[in-house]
């Protein structure tokens, strides 16, 4: 019988941590160009021009900020080998929290209080959504990859229910959507033409990134999360409550993702519309790529977020230029992640066949 | 002491020299691991490579196995200059390395593991041939291994045997054993040594890294000693005594090495640990600890002697809250800690040196500072890295841990230095009770004795109670105020440390 086995290399390939991300982006874009050329006849030259424009477009900034926050949130969970695939759901619950404050409470009368309350409730609801999956993993043994993924859909359809039912707007001209959130609760755009970011987005990104650095580098909790990713058995013998640690790691990751839900609603969308899957713009999944390209190093998160954000924007530019739809973005991301995964496997493992 | 002069660089070796290392230097950030090392290996000899932890023994064999490449120097195999840049290069040249931790693939069978990669080295492989070889060799050694069993079902000893067999089948003429048999039970270790002798008599050569000088003198033909990356000398076994070798290894520190009983401590009235009719199950659901009673006073060192696998591991794990107590009670300083979470036990000031120290004691991907800060008794909330760094530096200083910095992932340290990180950290936090399983294994002699002195000192001056499990009777007799013998899950004898008879203890261990 023929068996294929994968063996860890005694020595990993040198310079892997720099070369692999760089090579995967370049090969990923080239692969996308090839696929588009073969299947759709898209001119590679036009494609590369638009990819280049994506990297210098001011609209990229929004994706850059959101992906930085989401990427940092993932690094926290991933450092502990807790695979949070549920940022989509956590963003959604963050948005529900922020939307509730903005649409249905009297707080909207005082802008500062309203915005803070929106962010806090978003953080709490996103955190609870993460915490739940964490507790399921830690105490019941349910794999978090599956549970967080499934919980994304629960969150989508819960918001769907809200928007179709109790939250349906009064002035929507037949659209299925909420009313606009009051102007007082909307974030303040920066006065640059074409920009889609707000002052609050920038502040939040700085806070989330700083918090993540602080947590992972300066606190006992952070050190234990890192050890969790490397050797949970040692933590147990050291007297650390490992199930609790897993739950907290996923909870914090979810809370930070929840903040992005508030930022998306208050800074960009201003209302929630049906179909609700579009409100997250798949950012929660895209961020997984950001975290991996950064090799789970927080310092590299902004760089990876910028690169992926630019590819995202390039997809939109291609759509405007009539060269394809949002699918092109997914193509970029898919080919890059695929290349990255393959390259990583070859850098750390060799494959043998036994007959 | 007679130290044979080194063959100077460039001299043509005798035809029987299978391996010649000339002027090999290897630097790591902040450390010169090997400094112009010359080394000769003859056909048919067992050559022990000795040195204190971090002397460069592992670095040298890793270079010979292509895991590291040397910064300077040359390697000759059978008089021919070779470049070894990967393990495949090494195997092509007949050099094979077996390390402490088995590198086998769990879900494949023994035979499949051995066949893996054979074709690459130009060998015809038929499963049947390999099976015959395994069966025959395992009969020779006296350790049974079924070629068709999956590797995950094997014991550690069996896995190490498979590793060595694989190296031989791959055509290794030179077997390099980097502490490969260090963790084996004594009896099985002896069988392995006989097996190595046979391999050498048949024309093979063995480089044996160990920290047990006595064992090296028993099995090796020649001994090369490294200190701080330099070769101190190569000697023939007949020409030296154990003290000569110690002096070569430790220089002036050799005088501190003694197996005299350390001055006894004065146990206090207070009972530190009380184990009452304890029943604990092992990994396979069968009782491993069967009604054990123990009483340990503050300031007392209780040594538990026994052959590995007689319930000692399960006993210490139960005391630490890492394994369920089925029946019985455990009290620490009067507090009932039966089936209480480990965190609560640690809070009482309990240090713990586990079996499988690397797996249960340390996080290899993290650095020394993080390995200290991960303990809840050291750091809560915001970490004061300044304080942690000071602690780390103190441990490095006191135990002479060889590391480029406090920020180096500890997986890059040598095996002995890893153990030092663990032992020193646990000694530091053991303010009331220390539970130690083989506390000095993988440590060089001088460090082992330092650790024993510190344990004894903590018991004497700080009143720390110590439960030390060991199968090394030298250790048990050196540190214990009371000696208990554990066999088949029961305590079969308790003796005062100064009156215990070694033969009687040994008899109870194997009974």
- pLDDT of B255 over the 60 cut: yes
Residue A8 has a pLDDT of 64
**Alpha helices for B116-155 (secondary structure H):** 127-141
- pLDDT of A307 over the 60 cut: yes
Residue linked to tokens 């009331």: B432
Type and span of the H or E element at B176: strand B174-178
B383·A11 Cβ contact <8 A? no
Higher pLDDT, B394 or A45: B394
In whole angstroms, give the CA distance from residue A40 to residue A33: 10
B91–chain A nearest CA distance, Å: 14
Give the nearest partner residue to B117 out of A11, A223, A352, using CB atoms: A352
Give the nearest partner residue to A237 out of B322, B344, B370, using CB atoms: B322
B329–chain A nearest CA distance, Å: 20
Tokens describing residue B48: 């022990």
- pLDDT of A347 over the 60 cut: yes
Residue A343 has a pLDDT of 83
**Average pLDDT, stretch A277-290?**
87
- pLDDT of B121 over the 80 cut: no
In whole angstroms, give the CA distance from residue B168 to residue B94: 9
- pLDDT of B401 over the 70 cut: yes
Tokens describing residue A132: 């739940």
Give the nearest partner residue to A219 out of B115, B341, B381, using CB atoms: B381
Residue linked to tokens 């054979």: B118
Mutate: best of A2, A217, A237, partner B, most B CBs <10 A: A237
For residue B155, the Cα-to-chain-centroid distance in whole angstroms is 17
B343·A10 Cβ contact <8 A? no
Cis omega before residue A243 (within 30°)? no
B:332-391 residues touching chain A, CB 8 A cutoff: 341-347, 352, 354, 359-366, 370-371, 373-377, 379-383, 385
Which residues touch B38 (CB under 8 Å, ≥6 apart)? B6, B7, B9, B21, B22, B23, B24, B231
- pLDDT of B79 over the 70 cut: yes
B112·A3 Cβ contact <8 A? yes
Collapsed DSSP state (helix, strand, coil) of residue B430: coil
Interface pTM, i.e. ipTM: 0.84
A239·B86 Cβ contact <8 A? no
In whole angstroms, give the CA distance from residue B25 to residue A122: 59
Type and span of the H or E element at A144: helix A144-164
φ and ψ at residue B410, rounded to 5 degrees = -70, -10
B374·A238 Cβ contact <8 A? yes
Locate CATH 3.40.50.300 in chain B: 17-102+173-254, 265-348+469-511
- A224: nearest CA in chain B? B374
- Of B398, B396, B397, nearest to B410 by C-alpha is B396
Residue A355 has a pLDDT of 53
Which residues touch B230 (CB under 8 Å, ≥6 apart)? B35, B36, B37
Lowest model confidence (mean pLDDT) among A332-346, B54-68, B290-304, B477-491? A332-346
Whether the CB of B218 is below 8 Å from some CB of chain A: the reply is: no
pLDDT 10s digits, A89-118 = 999 999 999 999 999 988 877 889 999 999
Whether the CB of B67 is below 8 Å from some CB of chain A: the reply is: yes
Which residues touch B430 (CB under 8 Å, ≥6 apart)? B349, B350, B351, B458, B464, B466
**Residue B384's beta-bridge partner residues?**
none
B383·A239 Cβ contact <8 A? no
- Of B233, B147, B138, nearest to B188 by C-alpha is B138
Report CA-CA distances (Å) from B383 to B76, B372, B377, B389.
51, 11, 12, 11
Residue B135 has a pLDDT of 84
Type and span of the H or E element at A205: helix A199-218
Any idea which fold B17-102+173-254 has?
Rossmann fold (3.40.50)
Which residues touch A39 (CB under 8 Å, ≥6 apart)? none
Mutate: best of A221, A223, A242, partner B, most B CBs <10 A: A223
Query: B383 to chain A: which residues are within 8 Å by CB?
Result: 218-220, 223
pLDDT 10s digits, A171-230 = 778 788 898 999 999 999 999 888 899 999 999 999 999 999 999 999 999 999 999 999
Query: A224 to chain B: which residues are within 8 Å by CB?
Result: 374
How many CB pairs (< 8 A) connect A and B? Answer: 99
Domain ranges of chain A: 62-289
Mutate: best of B359, B375, B411, B412, partner A, most A CBs <10 A: B375
pLDDT 10s digits, B453-511 = 999 999 999 999 999 999 888 899 999 999 999 998 999 999 998 889 888 998 888 77
Say what percent of chain B tops pLDDT 70.
Answer: 95
Local confidence band at B111 (pLDDT 50, 70, 90 cut-offs) = confident
In whole angstroms, give the CA distance from residue A162 to residue B256: 77
**Average pLDDT, stretch A262-276?**
90
**Average pLDDT, stretch A10-35?**
79
pLDDT 10s digits, B360-372 = 999 999 999 999 9
pLDDT mean across residues, chain B? 87
Residue B5 has a pLDDT of 42
Residue A214 has a pLDDT of 97
Residue A224 has a pLDDT of 96
Higher pLDDT, B175 or B139: B175
pLDDT mean across residues, chain A? 89
B374·A354 Cβ contact <8 A? no
**Average pLDDT, stretch B82-109?**
86
Collapsed DSSP state (helix, strand, coil) of residue B289: strand
B67·A10 Cβ contact <8 A? yes
Higher pLDDT, B145 or B384: B384
A237·B376 Cβ contact <8 A? no
B374·A240 Cβ contact <8 A? yes
- CATH number of the domain located at residue range(s) B265-348+469-511 in this protein: 3.40.50.300
**Average pLDDT, stretch B51-73?**
89
Residue A12 has a pLDDT of 60
Taken as a whole, chain B contains a residue count of 511
B376·A3 Cβ contact <8 A? no
């Amino acid at each position: 019988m023929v068996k294929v086995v994968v063996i860890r290399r005694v020595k990993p390939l040198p310079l892997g941590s720099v070369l692999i991300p760089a090579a995967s982006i370049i090969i990923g874009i080239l692969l996308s160009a090839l696929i588009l050329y073969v299947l759709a006849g898209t001119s590679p030259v036009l494609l590369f021009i638009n990819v280049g424009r994506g990297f210098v477009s001011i609209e990229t900034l929004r994706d850059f900020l959101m992906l930085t926050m989401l990427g940092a949130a993932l690094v926290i969970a991933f450092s502990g080998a807790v695979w949070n695939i549920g940022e989509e759901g956590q963003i959604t619950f963050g948005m529900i929290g922020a939307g509730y404050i903005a649409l249905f409470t009297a707080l909207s009368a005082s802008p500062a209080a309203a915005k803070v309350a929106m962010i806090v409730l978003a953080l709490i609801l996103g955190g609870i959504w993460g915490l739940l999956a964490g507790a399921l993993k830690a105490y019941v043994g349910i794999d978090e990859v599956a549970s967080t993924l499934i919980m994304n859909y629960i969150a989508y359809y819960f918001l769907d229910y809200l928007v179709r039912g109790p939250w349906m707007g009064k002035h929507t001209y037949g659209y299925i959507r909420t009313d606009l959130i009051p102007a007082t609760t909307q974030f303040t755009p920066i006065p640059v033409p074409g920009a889609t970011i707000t002052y609050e987005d920038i502040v939040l990104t700085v806070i989330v990134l700083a918090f993540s650095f602080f947590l992972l580098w300066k606190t006992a909790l952070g050190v234990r999360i890192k050890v969790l990713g490397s050797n949970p058995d040692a933590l147990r013998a050291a007297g650390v409550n490992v199930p609790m640690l897993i739950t907290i790691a996923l909870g914090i990751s979810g809370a930070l993702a929840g903040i992005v839900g508030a930022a998306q609603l208050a800074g960009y969308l201003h209302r929630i519309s049906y179909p609700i899957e579009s409100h997250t713009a798949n950012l929660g999944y895209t961020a997984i790529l950001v975290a991996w390209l950064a090799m789970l190093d927080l310092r590299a998160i902004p760089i990876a977020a910028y690169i992926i954000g630019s590819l995202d924007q390039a997809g939109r530019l291609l759509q405007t230029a009539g060269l394809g739809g949002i699918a092109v973005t997914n193509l970029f991301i898919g080919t890059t992640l695929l290349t990255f995964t393959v390259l990583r496997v070859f850098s750390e493992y060799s494959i043998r066949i036994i007959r | 002491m007679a130290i044979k002069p080194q063959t100077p660089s460039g001299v043509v070796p005798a035809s029987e020299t299978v391996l010649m290392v000339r002027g090999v230097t290897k630097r790591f950030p902040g450390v010169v691991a090997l400094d112009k090392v010359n080394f000769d290996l003859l056909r048919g000899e067992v050559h022990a490579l000795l040195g204190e932890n971090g002397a460069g023994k592992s670095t040298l064999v890793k270079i010979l196995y292509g895991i590291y490449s040397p910064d300077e120097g040359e390697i000759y195999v059978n008089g021919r200059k070779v470049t070894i840049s990967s393990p495949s290069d090494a195997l092509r040249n007949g050099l094979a390395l077996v390390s402490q931790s088995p590198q086998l693939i769990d879900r494949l069978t023994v035979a499949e593991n051995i066949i893996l990669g054979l074709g690459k080295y130009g060998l015809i492989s038929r499963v049947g041939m390999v099976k015959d070889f395994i069966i025959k060799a395992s009969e020779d050694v006296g350790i049974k291994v079924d070629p068709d069993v999956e590797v995950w079902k094997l014991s550690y000893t069996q896995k190490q045997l498979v590793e060595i067999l694989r190296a031989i089948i791959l055509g290794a003429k030179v077997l390099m054993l980097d502490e490969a048999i260090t963790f084996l039970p004594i009896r099985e270790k002896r069988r392995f040594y006989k097996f190595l002798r046979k391999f050498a008599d048949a024309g093979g050569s063995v480089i044996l890294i160990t920290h047990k000088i006595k064992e090296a003198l028993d099995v090796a033909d020649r001994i090369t000693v490294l200190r701080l990356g330099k070769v101190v000398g190569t000697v023939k076994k007949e020409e030296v005594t154990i003290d000569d070798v110690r002096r070569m290894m430790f220089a002036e520190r050799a005088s501190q090495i003694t197996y005299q009983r350390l001055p006894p401590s004065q146990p206090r009235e207070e009972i530190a640990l009380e184990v009452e009719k304890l029943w604990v199950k092992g990994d396979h659901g069968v009782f491993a600890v069967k009604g054990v009673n123990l009483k340990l006073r503050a300031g007392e060192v209780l040594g538990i002697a026994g052959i590995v696998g007689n319930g000692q591991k399960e006993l210490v794990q139960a005391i630490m809250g890492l394994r369920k107590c089925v029946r019985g009670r455990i009290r620490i300083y009067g507090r009932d800690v039966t089936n209480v979470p480990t965190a609560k036990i640690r809070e009482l000031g309990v240090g713990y040196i586990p079996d499988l120290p690397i797996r249960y004691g340390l996080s290899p991907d993290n650095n020394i500072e993080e390995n200290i800060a991960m303990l809840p008794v050291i750091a809560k909330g915001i970490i004061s890295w300044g304080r942690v760094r000071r602690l780390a530096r103190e441990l490095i200083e006191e135990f002479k841990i060889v590391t480029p910095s406090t920020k180096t992932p500890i997986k890059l340290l040598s095996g002995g230095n890893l153990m030092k990180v663990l032992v020193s950290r646990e000694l530091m936090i053991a303010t009331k009770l220390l539970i130690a399983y083989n506390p000095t294994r993988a440590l060089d002699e001088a460090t082992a004795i330092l650790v024993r002195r510190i344990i004894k000192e903590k018991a004497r001056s700080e009143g720390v109670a110590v439960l030390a499990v060991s199968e090394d009777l030298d250790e048990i007799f050196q540190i214990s105020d009371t000696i208990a013998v554990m066999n088949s899950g029961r305590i079969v004898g308790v003796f005062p440390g100064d009156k215990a008879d070694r033969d009687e203890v040994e008899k109870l261990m194997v009974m």
